[in-house]
Structure 1
Amino acid sequence: MPAKTNNNAQIIELTIGDKEITFEVTRDQYNKLINKLGPNQKVAPMHNFLVETVRDENKPALLEILADYPGSEVGIGGELVEAYSPDLQIAVKKRSA
């Protein structure tokens, strides 16, 4: 489970290949990503989100992975978003007639 800090910020560690990469994600960064994702916009917003949230000491390793593996932004970003988002049970209650 990701470590929670203040302001809904979370420190999330991902193992990507043989590298341990740590991200610090805030609610503002998450919301900015979700607002920028569109039907034809996935890779650039995910790339920017990853580069913005990765810890400085892990940035060179992340940039190397992104350069060497086309489309990895979406896979890595998806895992990061899933780890950040709460596991919340939601059900729609049917109205009675």
Structure 2
Amino acid sequence: MNKTITLEVNGTDLTFEMTPDAYNKFINEMQPTNKVAPAHSLLMRTVTDDTKDDLKDLLKKPGAALELVGSLVSEYTPDLSIIVGKSKKSPNE
């Protein structure tokens, strides 16, 4: 699912073009000891050209990449209702 997402950050609009490929690449790049680089890469890969300079300025702030990518991924991924437990009908019935 391709989705255009605009995040307002400190009064500045940043627009991102999210795609399944960009999201999957981000997830595949994540490692237990490496989270900032994949976040930075996803943001830079998906930001639109007209807001790229504003993003670069924001990414100079400590922790900005992780906060931004958290909001971006949260907006991109669907809300799923998942219930863990015994199914209502057992397979033997």
Deviation at 1:48, TM superposition (A): 0.4
Q: Of 9, 27, 31, which residue of structure 2 is paired with 1:16?
A: 9
- Normalised by the length of structure 2, the TM-score is 0.90
Identity among equivalent positions (%) equals 43
Distance (whole Å) between structure 1 residues aligned to residue 84 and residue 28 of structure 2: 24
Question: 1:41: which partner in 2?
Answer: 34
| Matching residue's letter, 1:14 | L
Is 2:43 the partner of 1:54? no
Question: 1:94: which partner in 2?
Answer: 86
What does the per-residue CA deviation read over 1:41-67, in whole Å, with 9 as the maximum and x for residues that have no partner? 110000000000000000000001101
| Matching residue's letter, 1:21 | L
- Normalised by the length of structure 1, the TM-score is 0.86
Deviation at 1:93, TM superposition (A): 3.0
Q: Secondary structure at the match of 1:62?
A: helix
Aligned length: 88
Deviation at 1:18, TM superposition (A): 1.3
Distance (whole Å) between structure 2 residues aligned to residue 94 and residue 40 of structure 1: 36
Q: Secondary structure at the match of 2:39?
A: helix
Distance (whole Å) between structure 1 residues aligned to residue 53 and residue 63 of structure 2: 18
Q: Is the radius of gyration larger for structure 1 or structure 2?
A: 2
Question: 1:74: which partner in 2?
Answer: 66
RMSD: 1.1
